[in-house]
Amino acid sequence: MTTGEPVLAMRGVRAELGGRPVLRGIDLTVRRGEVVALLGANGSGKSTAIRSVIGQVPVSAGEIELFGAERRAFRDWWRIGYVPQRTTAAGGVPATVTEIVSSGRLSRTRFGLFRKADHAAVRHALELVGMADRARDNVEALSGGQHQRVLIARALVAEPELLVMDEPMAGVDLASQEILAATLREQVAQGATVLLVLHELGPLEPLIDRAVVLRDGCVLHDGPPPRAVGQHALPGHDHVHPHEHTPQRTGLLN
């Protein structure tokens, strides 16, 4: 699917962290309705690339456009649902599941005042990820997979058009993975555009339209997901998952 208008465009994007070039001229376009996987070895710059998109990493050169607007002028942040690389949902602050998910809805309210529709959106987002029965629980009491479901509900609650997710399946148990895959499938069926960092395509593979593979801060491949182009078409990488201790030989992706 390459017919939609660009929802996200990066052109020649460079970024340095700790005095080191981490993005060395990234070109990446995601069009409306596409599901694009950002792949590559540990340290290749995947998280930095998406953090530059949402403004968490300063860009030293190049351009980023969101929904046709220059990123610095872009204000409609509710149109983007961001799921950061997994941390605890509360970041050490005691909070209930409902509170965390509600925080994702603030961008849709005036002065943070919740109306009926906002409360309904929170309930709906929790239902989407199968967490409605945990609404009042403290997030600290949740498993890793449940945490991740809450973070995804927080990203969905503003009804965004573009979902940007950093390894949404990382450290997530199988049951939660299936729920997340189903949730994503539903979002995509409803027309959501998705850019997600993955270390393997896994259960999301059927959803992926295109894969962009980074190496050393550059785009190595932009096209069909690697399985479709053959296991040997691209160089292999060692990918060490941040939540795993033993290095895993992953080929390119698995």
* Contact footprint for ligand ATP (CB under 6 A): 17-18, 22, 40, 42-48, 242
Q: In b/e form, how buried is each residue of 205-230, taking b as 16+ CB within 10 angstroms?
A: eebbbbbbbbbebebbbeeebbeeee
- Nearer residue to ligand ATP within complex by CB, 48 or 146: 48
- Nearer residue to ligand ATP within complex by CB, 85 or 177: 85
The residue nearest ligand ATP at its CB is: 18
- Nearer residue to ligand ATP within complex by CB, 22 or 207: 22
- Nearer residue to ligand ATP within complex by CB, 28 or 125: 28
Min dist CB 190 to ligand ATP, Å, is: 28
For 212, how many CA atoms within 13 A lie in the half-sphere containing its CB?
24
Three-class DSSP category at 69:
strand
Give the tokens for residue 89: 């949902």
> DSSP state, 1?
-
For 106, how many CA atoms within 13 A lie in the half-sphere containing its CB?
8
Q: How many Å separate Cα 86 from the centre of its chain?
A: 10
Min dist CB 44 to ligand ATP, Å, is: 4
Min dist CB 17 to ligand ATP, Å, is: 4
Residue with token string 């009491």: 141
- Nearer residue to ligand ATP within complex by CB, 40 or 225: 40
Min dist CB 54 to ligand ATP, Å, is: 13
